[in-house]
């Protein structure tokens, strides 16, 4: 053991690495340049500087590293339905976002109860995964409940505006929709789309879906509909890339989302060969990935052609900036934000409570209340 090293429990270090969203070997590799130093870290020997680095990355008190075993912290839980092989443990960022969403959902449920409007929604669990419903049947139900048609899609000039349209209709149907690329309001803590793309909380009174705003804009549309499919199936869960189609529930939600966004009949009418993939992605307001997979599923291309079409990558968002008064309702659900501001103005909710729920300052709550046009924007 090195003279200036601190001896720590490897179990605690494993836990700290998971808090940072990494494995212990990957964490050791990122904080130590030499192989010998990395080996010592894996054995529980760290310098003071390395230990402080670990604590900072994990977002935990420095003293936690000296415990004999990992602390038993109470956290929100959700089924982990991510499809990558051996995905990294869900990070502290994810759990903070999840807990924040659950706090908002809990407030909204109590708010509806106070108004005498807390009736269970018929769409939540309208179908069950165990009954293996046909994707087209579920997709048709979703379109009908949301009041969405092909003409609505064509009226949306971009994928981002189409996302906004679907979100608006979902919130009208009673489903809270949140989209953010950061932890709460901290612009320095960007969410990783490689960790998760979205999650669904299938409460019968106030179902909620969250979409990672750091992902590709066209991918966000698919994620939104995928999470809405979770609501229709009554299944909560966190999901990542839809490219693997091996897990039952996730595969079904992918198939529902594909049928919702790219209806089989319309796709077959407009398909004109692999060279039309780009045009069809624009036509349906989805990614090339969705079009390629749809073509493969419907027998229009072979696996090799599909793989070739999937090679191109799109740039992900590098910023979550913009007009704060417009982004705050999107991050927190436009409907929830409107209801919370109205509750605050009526005196039923304290301003400081509203500020805490929206992760903003009290004076921003007041300023936001004066911008009713933004809160009710289409």
pLDDT tens figures, 12-52: 999 998 888 788 999 999 898 889 999 999 999 999 999 99
Region of 361 (left: φ > 0; alpha: ψ -120 to 50; beta: rest) is beta
Lowest mean pLDDT among 70-84, 99-113, 261-275, 311-325: 311-325
Residue 189: how many CB atoms within 10 A of its CB? 15
Dihedral sign, Cα of residue 125, residue 130, residue 134, residue 135: positive
Answer yes or no: is pLDDT of 92 > 60. yes
Instruction: Give the pLDDT mean for 112-130.
Output: 94
pLDDT value for 128: 93
Rounded CA-CA distance 128/202 in Å is: 12
The model's confidence at residue 288, banded by pLDDT at 50, 70 and 90, is: confident
pLDDT value for 242: 57
Q: What DSSP element (H or E) covers 189?
A: strand 186-190
Answer yes or no: is pLDDT of 84 > 90. no
Answer yes or no: is pLDDT of 320 > 60. no
Helix 217-233 vs helix 248-261: crossing angle, to nearest 10 = 120
Instruction: Give the pLDDT mean for 223-234.
Output: 96
In the chain, domain spans:
6-66, 92-309, 324-375
The model's confidence at residue 317, banded by pLDDT at 50, 70 and 90, is: low
Answer yes or no: is pLDDT of 1 > 70. no
Mean pLDDT (the chain, rounded): 88
Pick the CATH number of 6-66 from 3.30.160, 3.30.450, 1.20.1070, 1.10.260: 1.10.260
Give 323: exposed, middle or buried? Use CB within 10 Å, 0-12, 13-18, 19+.
exposed
Collapse the DSSP code of 96 into the 3-class scheme (helix H, G, I; strand E, B; otherwise coil) and give the result.
helix
DSSP state, residue 80: B
Answer yes or no: is pLDDT of 109 > 90. yes
DSSP state, residue 47: -
Here the tokens at position 320 are 């979550």
Q: In the chain, what percentage of residues exceed pLDDT 70?
A: 89
Rounded CA-CA distance 70/23 in Å is: 15
DSSP state, residue 315: P
Q: What is the pTM of this model?
A: 0.80
Rounded CA-CA distance 269/35 in Å is: 59
Q: In the chain, what percentage of residues exceed pLDDT 90?
A: 59
Half-sphere exposure of 188 (CA within 13 A, CB side): 0
Phi and psi, residue 223, nearest 5°? -60, -45
Here the tokens at position 261 are 């966004």
């Amino acid at each position: 053991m090195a003279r200036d090293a601190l001896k720590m429990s490897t179990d605690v270090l494993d836990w700290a690495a998971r808090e940072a969203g990494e494995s212990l070997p990957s964490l050791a590799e990122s904080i130590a340049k030499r192989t010998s130093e990395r080996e010592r870290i894996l054995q529980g020997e760290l310098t003071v500087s390395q230990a402080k680095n670990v604590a900072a990355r994990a977002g935990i008190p420095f003293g936690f590293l000296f415990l004999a075993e990992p602390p038993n912290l109470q956290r929100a839980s959700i089924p982990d339905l991510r499809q990558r092989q051996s995905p990294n443990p869900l990070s502290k960022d994810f759990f903070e976002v999840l807990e924040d969403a659950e706090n908002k959902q809990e407030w909204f449920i109590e708010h509806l109860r106070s108004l005498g409007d807390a009736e269970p929604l018929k769409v939540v669990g309208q179908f069950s995964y165990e009954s293996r419903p046909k994707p087209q049947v579920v997709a048709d139900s979703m379109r009908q409940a949301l009041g969405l048609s092909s003409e609505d899609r064509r009226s949306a000039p971009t994928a981002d505006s189409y996302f906004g349209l679907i979100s608006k209709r979902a919130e009208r149907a009673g489903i809270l929709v949140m989209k953010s690329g950061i932890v709460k309001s901290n612009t320095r803590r960007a969410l990783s789309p490689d960790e998760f793309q979205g999650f669904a909380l299938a409460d019968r009174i106030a179902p909620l879906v969250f979409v990672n705003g750091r992902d590709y804009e066209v991918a966000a549309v698919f994620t939104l509909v995928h999470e809405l499919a979770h609501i229709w199936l009554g299944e909560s869960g966190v999901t990542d890339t839809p490219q693997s189609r091996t897990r039952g529930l996730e595969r079904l939600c992918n198939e529902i989302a594909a049928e919702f966004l790219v209806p089989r009949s319309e796709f077959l009418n407009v398909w004109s060969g692999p060279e039309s993939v780009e045009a069809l992605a624009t036509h349906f307001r989805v990614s090339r990935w969705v079009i390629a997979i749809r073509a493969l599923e419907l027998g229009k291309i072979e696996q090799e052609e599909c793989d070739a079409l999937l090679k191109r990558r799109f740039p992900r968002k590098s910023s979550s900036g913009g007009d704060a008064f417009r982004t705050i309702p999107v991050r927190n659900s436009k409907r929830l934000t409107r209801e919370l501001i109205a509750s605050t103005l009526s005196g039923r909710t304290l301003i400081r409570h509203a500020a805490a729920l929206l992760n903003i300052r009290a004076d921003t709550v007041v300023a936001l209340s004066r911008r009713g046009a933004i809160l009710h924007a289409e």
